[in-house]
């Protein structure tokens, strides 16, 4: 996967606009610390986790469940890491955003359960997420992940967003807030039964790069209280971002597998597939081939 990623990354760089960087997801994963900092035991309070993050550049969480009653913030340039091989759960049931990631902060090997709004909120640029799972978020409004206007250059690798609620706001990855976001790189990331869309770049200003990502059953959430939204797999308009998708799959979604959403830029797809989507075609908006897509390899 990484060899193909590097080839396509060179051909379709995400960098666009002043101050943005073309980040290497493979190199970032290799940089994840395996030791150092402090380690907290299961049952540590949110205040103890926050205090450790404020005082240390790296905080490890041992296996177990930690209760989050308000938004936990990972400060800039710091790491919150679930111990390798361990199951680490941040239980935010019924409360607001699970975790806020400030610029250049990183979250690794953590499961976030049932926050009331977004599971992860990106506030700033260049965050990193690896083996992060957000499950059944947004009893109110929100979805799996969201960002402030101006959020750029985040990396997500081997992450998943499951059963996001919130109706028309219940996306898995909401990547295009306030028409000023984008430049994100997602590798081996997956959305399942999100209320609204899986990956949504509707107002993204800059290119996003999707590599080996899948979306299944958007708009068909089976969780109690779910409200069906648009149900697209990959929503790739309406903003100014010309996105690139490599080896991505959209299956059994309520609506389109790949939807350009009346955007003005052409989207580039390589070795992508779609099946069983509710639009009755292979999952693309309009006919195939369509002027809103460039199919560079099939």
Cα angle 68-145-244, degrees, rounded to a multiple of 5? 155
Token output for 25 = 């997801």
Beta carbons within 10 angstroms of residue 34's beta carbon:
9
What's the pLDDT score for residue 193?
95
SS3 28: helix
Which phi-psi region, left, alpha or beta, contains residue 278 (left: φ > 0; alpha: ψ -120 to 50)? alpha
- The residue assigned the tokens 């979604």 is 253
Distance of CA 200 to the CA centre of its chain: 9
Instruction: Concatenate the DSSP letters of all residues of 45-99 into one string.
Output: -HHHHHHHHHH-SEEEE-SEEEE-SS-EEE-TT-EEEEPTT--EEEE-TTSS-SE
Tell me the CATH number at 141: 2.160.20.10
pTM of this prediction? 0.94
In which domain, by residue range, is 46 found?
2-12+21-297
What's the pLDDT score for residue 234?
93
What's the pLDDT score for residue 286?
57
Cα–Cα distance, 141 to 164 (Å, whole number): 10
Sites in the chain below the pLDDT cut of 70: 16-19, 138-142, 149-150, 176-180, 280-291, 298
SS3 36: coil
Structural domains in the chain (count): 1
Contacts (Cβ under 8 Å, ≥6 apart) of 130: 29, 32, 106, 107, 108, 109, 156, 157, 158, 159
What's the pLDDT score for residue 237?
75
What's the pLDDT score for residue 19?
67
What's the pLDDT score for residue 139?
56
What's the pLDDT score for residue 20?
77
């Amino acid at each position: 996967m990484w060899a193909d990623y590097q080839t396509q990354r060179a051909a379709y760089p995400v960098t666009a606009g002043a101050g943005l960087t073309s980040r290497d997801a493979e190199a970032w994963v290799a940089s994840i610390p395996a030791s150092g900092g402090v380690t907290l035991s299961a049952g540590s309070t949110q205040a103890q986790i926050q205090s450790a993050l404020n005082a240390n550049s790296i905080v490890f969480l041992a296996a177990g469940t930690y209760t989050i009653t308000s938004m936990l913030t990972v400060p800039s340039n710091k790491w919150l890491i679930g111990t390798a091989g361990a199951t680490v759960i941040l239980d935010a049931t019924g409360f607001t955003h699970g975790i806020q990631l400030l610029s250049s902060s990183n979250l690794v090997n953590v499961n976030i359960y049932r926050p009331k709004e977004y599971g992860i909120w990106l506030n700033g640029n260049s965050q990193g997420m690896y083996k992060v799972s957000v499950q059944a978020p947004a009893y109110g409004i929100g979805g799996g992940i969201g960002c402030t206007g101006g959020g750029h250059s985040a990396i997500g690798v081997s992450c998943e967003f499951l059963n996001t609620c919130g109706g028309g706001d219940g996306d898995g990855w909401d990547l295009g807030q306030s028409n000023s976001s984008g430049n994100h790189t997602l590798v081996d990331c997956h959305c399942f039964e999100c209320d609204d869309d899986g990956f949504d770049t509707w107002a993204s200003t800059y290119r996003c790069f999707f590599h080996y990502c899948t979306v299944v059953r958007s708009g068909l959430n089976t969780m109690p209280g779910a409200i069906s939204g648009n149900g697209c797999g990959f929503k790739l308009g309406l903003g100014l971002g010309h996105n690139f998708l490599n080896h991505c799959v959209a299956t059994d979604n309520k609506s389109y597998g790949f939807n350009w959403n009346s955007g003005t830029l052409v989207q580039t797809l390589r070795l992508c597939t779609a099946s069983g989507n509710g639009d009755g075609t292979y999952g693309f908006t309009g006919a195939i081939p369509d002027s809103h897509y460039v199919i560079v390899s099939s």
